[in-house]
């Protein structure tokens, strides 16, 4: 599953810096007591700031923690020096800068509320995990490593059937590429080895039914992609190994749906008045649940099947 629009201008780890800039626009406030890690001129960088940035970078191998911490400290020093110069230059009063700060503040707060909603979603049940495993043998029980040759073509929609017919009659990719040249259809060729989890699910379902030497066709906005299966090696994944990856995907999917449902509820309850020229055709009718997520609330994670499987703590190898 993926959000219709996915945009986050400032990461949560940058919120500390933005908050500091916002505070600099008004009266100076007393700083909460904290353990000082570095003093840069008269300003302090706290251990809390360093740990917050480290936490935002995910799981760091134990043998790399010291190096990562040092890199974060130096980065925060550079940032603090630039921040001090920005304040000395009164950039914190610049209208454009103030607009960017306000935009970042809106996005951070909206995202925080979305994460609060998502945090209440329960973990998937054993039955849900088992069901997903059984419904996707192409990813697990019958998983394959594919050797593929891809031909990406740019062609008008009214010629797609002609391309499909030629694909059926062509004996090999070379003959097909020869025909593309004759028809002046632009194309590019790529080849490589991909495990099942690195292939979009809708494409994988078709590939799973093909044997080496066979080809499939996927329509794209600008034409299509012809996929020739050069080879395929069986490498199944059992339930135990697949479980944490499936759990991660289903939880991410459910969290995304909960945010969309909340945005839909808020839209239905709100009074939204468009000025002339700003009401789009999509806004003329209530947005369906799958199109309701706003850029500020959308989850940061790409929750498509292939992305979750690729990023999972346990790789399907």
Q: What domains, with CATH codes, occur in the chain?
A: 12-119 (no CATH), 144-234 (3.10.50.40)
Q: How far apart are CA 253 and CA 299, in angstroms?
A: 10
More confident position, 205 or 296: 205
Q: 95 phi and psi, to 5 degrees?
A: -55, -40
Question: How far is CA 54 from each of CA 46, 61, 64, 131, 243, rounded to the nearest angstrom?
Answer: 13, 12, 11, 37, 28
At 227-252, the pLDDT tens digits run 999 999 999 999 999 999 999 999 99
Which of the four pLDDT bands, split at 50, 70 and 90, describes residue 293?
Answer: very low
Mean pLDDT of 49-62: 91
DSSP code, position 31: P
pTM, two decimal places = 0.63
Of 27-36, 40-49, 81-90, 272-281, least confident by mean pLDDT is 27-36
Strands of the chain (E only): list them. Answer: 36-40, 43-46, 144-154, 187-195, 215-220, 223-234
Q: How far apart are CA 19 and CA 160, in angstroms?
A: 53
pLDDT for residue 201:
85
Strands 223-234 and 144-154: antiparallel
């Amino acid at each position: 599953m993926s959000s219709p629009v996915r945009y986050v201008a400032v990461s949560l780890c940058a919120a500390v810096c933005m908050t500091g800039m916002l505070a600099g626009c008004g009266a100076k406030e007393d700083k909460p007591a904290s353990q000082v890690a570095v003093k840069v001129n008269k300003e302090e960088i706290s251990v809390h700031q360093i740990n917050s940035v480290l936490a935002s970078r995910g799981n760091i191998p134990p043998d790399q923690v010291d190096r990562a911490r040092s890199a974060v400290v130096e980065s925060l020093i550079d940032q603090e020096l630039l921040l001090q110069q920005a304040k000395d230059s009164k950039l914190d009063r610049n209208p454009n800068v103030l607009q960017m700060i306000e935009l970042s503040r809106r996005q951070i707060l909206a995202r925080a509320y979305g994460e609060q909603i998502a945090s209440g979603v329960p973990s998937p049940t054993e039955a849900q995990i088992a069901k997903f495993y059984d419904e996707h043998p192409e990813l697990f029980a019958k998983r394959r490593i594919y050797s593929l040759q891809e031909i990406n073509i740019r062609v008008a929609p009214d010629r797609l059937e002609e391309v499909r017919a030629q694909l059926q009659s062509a004996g090999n990719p070379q003959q097909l590429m020869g025909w593309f040249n004759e028809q002046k259809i632009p194309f590019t060729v790529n080849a490589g080895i991909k495990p099942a989890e690195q292939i979009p699910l809708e494409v994988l379902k078709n590939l799973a039914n093909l044997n080496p030497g066979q080809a499939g066709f996927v329509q794209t906005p600008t034409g299509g992609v012809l996929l020739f299966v050069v080879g395929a090696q069986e490498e199944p994944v059992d339930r135990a190994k697949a479980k944490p990856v499936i759990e991660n995907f289903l939880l991410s999917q459910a969290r995304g749906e909960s945010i969309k449902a909340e945005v839909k509820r808020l839209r239905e309850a709100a009074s939204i008045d468009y000025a002339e020229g700003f009401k789009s055709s999509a806004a003329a009718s209530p947005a369906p649940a799958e199109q309701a997520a706003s850029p500020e609330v959308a989850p940061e994670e790409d929750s498509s099947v292939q992305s979750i499987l690729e990023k999972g703590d346990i790789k399907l190898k």
